[in-house]
Amino acid sequence: MHAVEVRDRIMIAHSFRGEMFGPAQALHGATFVIDAAFLAETLDPNGVVVDIGAAHAALNAVVRDLNYRNLDDIPEFGGFNTTTEFLTRYVFDRLAGAARNGSLGRDARELAAIRVTIAESDVARAWYKGPLR
Amino acid sequence: MHAVEVRDRIMIAHSFRGEMFGPAQALHGATFVIDAAFLAETLDPNGVVVDIGAAHAALNAVVRDLNYRNLDDIPEFGGFNTTTEFLTRYVFDRLAGAARNGSLGRDARELAAIRVTIAESDVARAWYKGPLR
Amino acid sequence: MHAVEVRDRIMIAHSFRGEMFGPAQALHGATFVIDAAFLAETLDPNGVVVDIGAAHAALNAVVRDLNYRNLDDIPEFGGFNTTTEFLTRYVFDRLAGAARNGSLGRDARELAAIRVTIAESDVARAWYKGPLR
Amino acid sequence: MHAVEVRDRIMIAHSFRGEMFGPAQALHGATFVIDAAFLAETLDPNGVVVDIGAAHAALNAVVRDLNYRNLDDIPEFGGFNTTTEFLTRYVFDRLAGAARNGSLGRDARELAAIRVTIAESDVARAWYKGPLR
Amino acid sequence: MHAVEVRDRIMIAHSFRGEMFGPAQALHGATFVIDAAFLAETLDPNGVVVDIGAAHAALNAVVRDLNYRNLDDIPEFGGFNTTTEFLTRYVFDRLAGAARNGSLGRDARELAAIRVTIAESDVARAWYKGPLR
Amino acid sequence: MHAVEVRDRIMIAHSFRGEMFGPAQALHGATFVIDAAFLAETLDPNGVVVDIGAAHAALNAVVRDLNYRNLDDIPEFGGFNTTTEFLTRYVFDRLAGAARNGSLGRDARELAAIRVTIAESDVARAWYKGPLR
């Protein structure tokens, strides 16, 4: 299996509901360093999984809408804790949509999976990996 | 598949038996930077794989007993080379036990796997990944 | 010149005032990875700049009060943008105070300077270095 | 599953054919930081996946022939774009051969897979993972 | 002394003249990860050394002209080896010019120095630090 | 001021004397990732501070003698705690000697200083910087 992975980053505020979160129930924030990996069994005729420029652009298109935001104010997330885990899935879903609508410049049926990793600090990160087909 | 991964570190001494190890047969040591990843198909109602505070605590509870030790003196390891690979499995087994006894705050049956990665330097690391069920 | 440097981290929310900040005028947040370096011309009789455990404790004592906070709500910062640069100076001042009150376990007159570096992302950081005497 | 991973690096020039590559169609270059991971279900009697010294040597033996080269001039690559993805597969094939001819000091039938990761910058990397049997 | 530092990256080809360079006399290439630090004794009224967005833009404006180039073909470098050391000075000179022409949004006379660091791999880097006044 | 910096690493055992060290009084160990920076006001006619190959070789020549050793057994260190700080000075002294005896391929009088940084973990490091003249 081949993969290509690109990186971007955002700075956001949010708060969590649930006693488990302790002090993180207060409004706080995070820098999220986000890696998006695209997996495919085969390379395309140019010798790539996807155009790395298109991959960077697709990831940026997803995360720039969240940058410098208070995630508590985004209706799309209403009712859910915007944990690092939750956000990996959100970015995955948006990238899967981008793949299916052709934004990556390769037929999504030739891609096997996407993995989104978000590091919230130097000592903690989360990822979500799911199939595209 | 979702995952959350946390990091800790220890500084230990040990020696290896076996000609393969060359100069590492002598007593030497290592800083081990240890990442423990917990994998689950679904998030819990709070939107997490496991409470990240509990994950940090569970990893620390395992590795702090090894910190500042000569691993050659630990009876529990008797007879085995405490290679980086061996230790990834040891930490995995201890974390799997913690998961099963509820230390992570989530039913272990809802977790799919644990992966323990130990970097012994900037150019070498090992990992062990195993199922929890 | 000798130095020893230790690391900690916090997750905070804040907003900035001033057109220069563009979208960062909105409430957002950051993970700050904070390195505190203590500099001295000579080592103490134990062969250290300062007790590294005391250095970790002193840094943690400063930054834990900011962790999971909205910095806009902290009266101590009233009237100033809590930029990364501003915070490096704040942490410096607090650590200099800790050094002078003996928290580092070495006479502050034997220390030359402190440097505080805060990385706000993988592509941006700030630092402040000042003398202790 | 156990794994051990080692790192090396090379500095090369090359160019790409295909409009997709935009400015990268011109002769340019890259530092490739290369991680080779060897996976096995079980450890050998010494407690390792493979001798880490042999792993470092096997990886170096593959990549040193590419170091300080213009990859466009290497007949072995003729007709293909030497993308990061392509090179992960090339290094994989060479390491699989090394495993099968015994260079790793362990019977290749005891190894499950090899994964080769090449970082082309701090924000982009590719990998190839394939079975050995 | 305060500082703020931003990061960018380029991928270039070049060759060196001089027996000292051994195999690096051949055409090869590099990924250069470039950090530009701006130093000032005081923060501006907004609480920053310079606008970090302007700093990123100024660095990008300098390095994008080199990206995907064969540095041997750039007349401006004619006659000199484009070593990592040489390039740190080149980027410094261009950034100093940007500071003096106001591109950083702060009077250059309020800045003390610029430091440019270029990492050519995970195990080698160079920097140049010079005063602005 | 120009600088070039190279990296190497060793794995050692040792113990400390002094109550300050707490559990580190026991025999333990460390991976030390060692960066040696060579500083000069001017570049040589080849456009370098020092031959980077010579720099790597000089650093390796110093640290390889310590690799896989119990530092408590090295008479040269007798009577001193081999703290990270102590070792930065030891490596500095050895590299300064190498510079003065011509091992770096450049007249030591053209070099201004050497800085040796040793990271003992992902959260702690020390350095020593001294003049060469």
Is the model's pLDDT at D78 over the cut of 90? Answer: no
Closest CB to B51 among A20, A86, A123: A20
Q: Which pLDDT tens digit goes with each residue over B47-88?
A: 999 999 999 999 999 999 999 999 999 999 987 999 999 999
Is the model's pLDDT at D79 over the cut of 90? Answer: no
Contacts of E91 (CB under 8 A, 6+ apart): E34, E36, E59, E62, E63, E116, E118, E128
Q: Tell me the ipTM for this assembly.
A: 0.96
Q: Measuring CA to CA, which residue among C36, C84, C42 is closest to residue C58? A: C36
User: Are E121 and D33 in contact (CB < 8 Å)?
Assistant: yes
Q: What are phi and psi of D47, to 5 degrees?
A: 90, 25
Residues 43-82 of C with CB under 8 A from E: 80-82
The per-residue pLDDT for A100 is 97
DSSP, collapsed to helix, strand or coil, labels residue C45 as coil
Instruction: Please tell me the distance from the alpha carbon of residue E5 to that of residue E8, in angstroms, as a whole number.
Output: 10
User: Are B23 and F120 in contact (CB < 8 Å)?
Assistant: no
Do residues D37 and D117 touch, judged by C-beta distance below 8 A? yes
Do residues D104 and D96 touch, judged by C-beta distance below 8 A? no
User: Are B123 and F70 in contact (CB < 8 Å)?
Assistant: no
* Token pair recorded at residue B24: 């590492």
Which of the four pLDDT bands, split at 50, 70 and 90, describes residue E16? very high
- Strand pairing of C124-131 and B113-121? unpaired
Q: Which pLDDT tens digit goes with each residue over F14-59?
A: 999 999 999 999 999 999 999 999 999 999 999 999 999 999 999 9
- CB contacts, 8 Å: E56 with chain C: 123-124
- CB contacts, 8 Å: C9 with chain F: none
User: Are A13 and C9 in contact (CB < 8 Å)?
Assistant: no
Is the model's pLDDT at B133 over the cut of 90? Answer: no
Which of the four pLDDT bands, split at 50, 70 and 90, describes residue A78? confident
The per-residue pLDDT for C97 is 98
Instruction: Please tell me the distance from the alpha carbon of residue D59 to that of residue D52, in angstroms, as a whole number.
Output: 11
Helix A52-63 and helix A84-100, axial crossing angle in degrees, nearest 10 = 130
Q: Which pLDDT tens digit goes with each residue over B83-110?
A: 999 999 999 999 999 999 999 999 999 9
Neighbours of chain D (3+ CB pairs under 8 A): A, B, E
Is the model's pLDDT at F79 over the cut of 90? Answer: no
For C65, which residue in chain A has the nearest alpha carbon?
A23
- Alpha carbons within 13 angstroms on the beta-carbon side of residue B65 total 14
Give Cα separations from D18 to A47, A51, C22, F24 (angstroms).
10, 11, 38, 58
Q: What's the distance, CA D4 to chain centroid?
A: 14
For B34, which residue in chain A has the nearest alpha carbon?
A123
- CB contacts, 8 Å: A6 with chain D: 123-124
The per-residue pLDDT for F88 is 98
For F70, which residue in chain B has the nearest alpha carbon?
B28
User: Are F46 and E123 in contact (CB < 8 Å)?
Assistant: no
**Does F131 contact chain C (CB < 8 Å)?**
no
In chain C, % of residues over pLDDT 70 = 100
- CB contacts, 8 Å: C47 with chain F: 80-83, 85-86
User: Are D83 and A6 in contact (CB < 8 Å)?
Assistant: no
Q: Do chains C and A touch (3 or more CB pairs under 8 A)?
A: yes
- CB contacts, 8 Å: E53 with chain C: 22
- CB contacts, 8 Å: E67 with chain D: 23, 28
Q: What are phi and psi of D132, to 5 degrees?
A: -100, -20
The answer to which of C75-79, D105-109, E104-108, F88-92 has the lowest mean pLDDT is C75-79
Is the model's pLDDT at A24 over the cut of 90? Answer: yes
- Chain C to chain E, count of Cβ pairs less than 8 Å apart? 56
Give Cα separations from E1 to A119, C129, D78, E50, E112 (angstroms).
30, 5, 54, 14, 9
For residue A70, what is the DSSP state?
Answer: B
DSSP, collapsed to helix, strand or coil, labels residue B127 as strand
The residue-averaged pLDDT of E47-75 equals 97
Q: Which pLDDT tens digit goes with each residue over C12-43?
A: 999 999 999 999 999 999 999 999 999 999 99
**What stretch of H or E contains F91?**
helix F84-100
In chain F, % of residues over pLDDT 90 = 98
- CB contacts, 8 Å: F2 with chain E: 85, 88-89, 126-128
Do residues D49 and B85 touch, judged by C-beta distance below 8 A? yes
Give Cα separations from C53 to B5, C48, C59, F5, F85 (angstroms).
25, 11, 10, 28, 14
- CB contacts, 8 Å: D123 with chain A: 6-8, 56
Which of the four pLDDT bands, split at 50, 70 and 90, describes residue A79? confident
| C47: region left, alpha or beta (phi > 0 left; psi from -120 to 50 alpha) | left
Neighbours of chain A (3+ CB pairs under 8 A): B, C, D
Which of the four pLDDT bands, split at 50, 70 and 90, describes residue D133? confident
User: Are E70 and D27 in contact (CB < 8 Å)?
Assistant: yes
The per-residue pLDDT for A133 is 77
- Chain A to chain D, count of Cβ pairs less than 8 Å apart? 57
